[in-house]
Amino acid sequence: MSATGYVAVAAQVAVVAGGAPLLTGWMRQVRARLEGRAGAGVVQPWRDARKLLRKEPVSPTGTGPAFRLAPLLLVAGTAVVAALVPLAATRTPVSGSADLILVVALLALGTVALALAGLDTGTAFGGMGASREMTIAALVEPTILLAVFAVSIPAGSTNLPAIVAGTIDHPARTASPAELLAVAALVVAVLAETGRIPVDNPATHLELTMVHEAMVLEYAGPDLALVELGSQMRLAVLLGLVATLAAPWGVATGGSPALLALALALLVAKVAVLGTALAAAEVFRAKVRLFKVPELLAGSFVLALLAVVGSYFLTGEAGR
């Protein structure tokens, strides 16, 4: 099993790193078609990345090591998350430390690194973006951890492979109201974490509204490519996490290579479906004002709390 385990981890990281730009390209394409445009094609993000990576690395005057390290840390942290989350297989060499709280914290580490980089530039935009991003991140945290709490109740552990394996063994769990509420709360939190509509608009560069983009405005060349790749991987891995928690079927619990290949194919399909739904939803929704975001997050916080409490008072302790 151990050889397949290592292969599984490597495959997960490779699929997330290689597929994330394609997912973004796919979502842009879906949006473009729904809006009646031709679109740039699914592989456009990869073309952009290649173009940027070939450029000369540039550091703006007055920036320090934090500015240069942040993109690397963002991508590396997300890659570690991609290795930890049982996207394709539950029995991997790292499954012992694949803790859900750790995953959430590692993603937050990337946010913090970028926010520091934004402040390091010393420009008004960098500070504005960092300030807004940290505000949202601080408010997302309770929601996301309560959702974690809720999904970990049936398994009795925050260990992700244990949760996923438990759900595969008891398929009825996914239909329980508590699980549905938790996933709904998680989806809102994921939208906020990845800076999608209605929390942030990844396609805007309007100073009044931009959050994430303001933070990374000074990046250019290979650094910018990494920042973009980092955000794309973040979206891919979080959508993968939601898919794995909500519909874990297909994730390989054994060690056979054929099952692993099937699991990877299913993962790509699940994430593509989620991405399509997200892109379609974004066509019909507008970004909310920054100061309305707390309302949205408070709502998802209530959903997460109801999920925790609901796992008690609806089905009782029977699920444990």
User: 227-286: which residues touch other proteins (CB under 8 A)?
Assistant: none
Q: In angstroms, rounded to a whole number, what is the distance separating the alpha carbons of residues 201 and 72?
A: 23
Long-range contacts, stretch 95-100, CB < 8 angstroms, 24+ apart: 95/5, 95/159, 95/160, 95/161, 96/159, 98/159, 98/160, 98/161, 99/158, 99/159, 99/160, 100/148, 100/151, 100/152, 100/158, 100/159, 100/160, 100/163
- 319: contact with other proteins by CB under 8 A: no
Chain positions 286 to 315 lying near other proteins, rule: CB under 8 A, are 290-291, 294-295, 297-299, 301-303, 305-306, 308-310, 312-315
Chain positions 164 to 193 lying near other proteins, rule: CB under 8 A, are 172, 175-177, 180-181
Long-range contacts, stretch 269-275, CB < 8 angstroms, 24+ apart: 270/240, 270/243, 271/19, 271/23, 271/236, 271/239, 271/240, 271/243, 272/23, 272/26, 274/239, 274/242, 274/243, 275/23, 275/26, 275/27, 275/30, 275/239
Q: How far is the CB of 63 from other proteins (least distance, A)?
A: 8
Chain positions 91 to 130 lying near other proteins, rule: CB under 8 A, are 94, 96-97, 99, 101-102, 105-106, 108-109, 111-112, 115-116, 118-128, 130
Q: How far is the CB of 275 from other proteins (least distance, A)?
A: 24
Chain positions 63 to 82 lying near other proteins, rule: CB under 8 A, are 64-66, 68-69, 72-73, 75-77, 79-80
Out of 36, 38, 61, 286, point to the residue binding other proteins (CB under 8 A): 61
Q: What single DSSP character describes residue 210?
A: -
Give the residue from 131, 297, 120, 116 showing the smallest Cα distance to 210: 131
Q: What x/- string results for residues 11 through 50 when contact with other proteins is judged by CB under 8 A? A: ---------------------------------------x
- 204: contact with other proteins by CB under 8 A: no
- 220: contact with other proteins by CB under 8 A: yes
Contact 164, 179 (CB under 8 A): no
Out of 46, 60, 262, 288, point to the residue binding other proteins (CB under 8 A): 60
Out of 11, 89, 146, 241, point to the residue binding other proteins (CB under 8 A): 146
Q: How far is the CB of 8 from other proteins (least distance, A)?
A: 16
User: To the nearest 10°, the Cα dihedral for 269, 200, 111, 234?
Assistant: 10
Using the minimum distance from each CB to other proteins, give the nearer residue, 27 or 85.
85
Out of 1, 10, 14, 138, point to the residue binding other proteins (CB under 8 A): 138
Q: What single DSSP character describes residue 289?
A: P
Using the minimum distance from each CB to other proteins, give the nearer residue, 264 or 304.
304
